[in-house]
A = this chain, B = another copy of it.
């Protein structure tokens, strides 16, 4: 019997998880992993730590070099290799090592798309300046770090207010670089944080000398030598700077699959079933490029998070390897939950903000409370909680937590409740631990649940 040929496109979190799982599921399969870059199997989420200068080399973020991955999992690894097209009828892909280079074909029995997402830059901000960056892959991080290590950056401008922007802000700030972040409408982590929580964060960052500007950067002023001079904003302002990071969002890399006829889901990634099979036979997809199923609403959800990439890679790898035999692996529902460490604060969220819940038509209500991390007689820090629930069903929809400590884990507590379909009353019935030096009698989540009960 001919060994099953499994082809995986994309070699970061989801792709390598898929390849490793395919190998575990099928000792005999012929597995090929293709990536257009030079790095595979690295921790993209840890790039901010490297940028902050706290890790000596980008190599520390690499779990497996291509060679080591190939040897460990008995997988053929092709880096610097781009897939040009997928022939779903003949089950082969055309690859090339670059524009103008020769194209060759690789056949497959099972194909896994783990093509991830790319940085999105608005047309007006596209620039060849050596001082203007995006932060998407490890090579981006290397170039930024080299600039930070070799040039004096008197002022860094960050355009965009999502997780990438705030992570970069934290990295630059830790290096002692003066930073200005431009956020359209002045709203940080829009979609994750409601505006009152964002305002708290903006105010805190302001106290640290970090300027968050409610303005839109429209164009860049680049000197003839390629160095950045300033950014120009919608309000007519001109802000001098020596480095610009464009954190203006990401887009799932669906083009290759779309060209081959794969259907997209409503949230922008590939439409997949619970086994992560796409709309085409023998093609699975995983990671940032698919729509998962929301554990709160049951609706398709784009949730480009590392843990989802890892878990979905394993599911796709197992199912691609089984070839119709055995029980297929299923991808779980996911709750969108994330956090960032910025300016000495933990900023965490889970599920739906009020604004995002209303935007999908839910009749939602929210409260924001301030509490503390421990009993008042013990050293403690303020803890801000915003809790969102559906009005009639009283079901929890999400939470946002900001504090010096304990915010992430409290968001995890709410995620547990979101997964089990809890109401705000279930949360109020929780046996939160009271240990005066570690947590107050009425935990911040309990205080928030009580306040929301009164509003419902």
The reply to whether B405 and A405 contact each other, CB–CB distance below 8 Å, is yes
Chain B residues, Cβ within 8 Å of A416: 413, 416-417, 420, 422, 430
A414-456 with Cβ < 8 A to chain B? 415-417, 419-420, 422, 426, 429-439, 441-443
Chain B residues, Cβ within 8 Å of A43: 375, 377, 436, 441
The reply to whether A350 and B307 contact each other, CB–CB distance below 8 Å, is no
Chain B residues, Cβ within 8 Å of A411: 433
Jot down 19 A-B pairs with beta carbons below 8 A, ordered by A: A45-B375, A45-B436, A49-B377, A54-B378, A307-B441, A336-B431, A337-B431, A337-B433, A338-B434, A340-B435, A341-B438, A350-B433, A408-B433, A408-B435, A408-B439, A411-B433, A416-B420, A419-B426, A420-B426
Q: Choose one: B310, B338, B420, B432; the contact of A433 (CB below 8 Å).
A: B338
Q: Choose one: B54, B305, B378; the contact of A377 (CB below 8 Å).
A: B54
List 17 additional A-B contacts (Cβ < 8 Å) besides A295-B431, A409-B413.
Answer: A45-B375, A305-B431, A306-B441, A307-B431, A307-B432, A307-B434, A333-B429, A334-B431, A338-B434, A338-B435, A411-B433, A412-B443, A415-B430, A415-B431, A415-B433, A416-B420, A419-B426
Q: Would you list the 4 A-B pairs with minimal beta carbon distance, nearest first?
A: A409-B409, A416-B416, A420-B420, A339-B435
A340 to B60, CA, bound (A): 37
Interface size on A, residues (CB 8 A): 61
Nearest chain B residue, comparing its CB with the CB of A436: B46
Nearest chain B residue, comparing its CB with the CB of A47: B436
- Chain A 159-179, CB within 8 Å of chain B: the 1/0 string? 000000000000000000000
The prevalent SS among residues of A at the interface is mixed
Verify if A148 is at the interface (C-beta below 8 Å from B): no
A144 to B335, CA, bound (A): 50
Verify if A275 is at the interface (C-beta below 8 Å from B): no
The reply to whether A49 and B437 contact each other, CB–CB distance below 8 Å, is yes
Nearest chain B residue, comparing its CB with the CB of A55: B377
A410 to B412, CA, bound (A): 8
The reply to whether B437 and A419 contact each other, CB–CB distance below 8 Å, is no
A412 to B346, CA, bound (A): 18
Smallest beta-carbon distance A364→chain B, Å: 20
Verify if A135 is at the interface (C-beta below 8 Å from B): no
The reply to whether B433 and A419 contact each other, CB–CB distance below 8 Å, is no
Known A-B contacts A350-B433, A416-B430, A433-B337; the reply to A438 vs B408 at CB < 8 A is yes
Smallest beta-carbon distance A395→chain B, Å: 13
Q: Choose one: B45, B410, B436; the contact of A409 (CB below 8 Å).
A: B410
A422 to B426, CA, bound (A): 14
A140 to B429, CA, bound (A): 32
Verify if A348 is at the interface (C-beta below 8 Å from B): yes
A330-374 with Cβ < 8 A to chain B? 332-341, 346, 348, 350
Verify if A300 is at the interface (C-beta below 8 Å from B): no
A442 to B308, CA, bound (A): 11
Chain B residues, Cβ within 8 Å of A338: 433-435
Chain B residues, Cβ within 8 Å of A431: 295, 305, 307-308, 334-337, 350, 415, 419
The reply to whether B377 and A429 contact each other, CB–CB distance below 8 Å, is no
Nearest chain B residue, comparing its CB with the CB of A418: B431
Verify if A406 is at the interface (C-beta below 8 Å from B): yes
Verify if A61 is at the interface (C-beta below 8 Å from B): yes
- Chain A 44-85, CB within 8 Å of chain B: the 1/0 string? 011011100011000011000000000000000000000000
Chain B residues, Cβ within 8 Å of A434: 45, 305-307, 338
Known A-B contacts A61-B377, A434-B307; the reply to A439 vs B339 at CB < 8 A is yes
Nearest chain B residue, comparing its CB with the CB of A431: B335
Chain B residues, Cβ within 8 Å of A436: 43, 45-46, 48-49
The reply to whether A438 and B307 contact each other, CB–CB distance below 8 Å, is no
A20-63 with Cβ < 8 A to chain B? 43, 45-46, 48-50, 54-55, 60-61
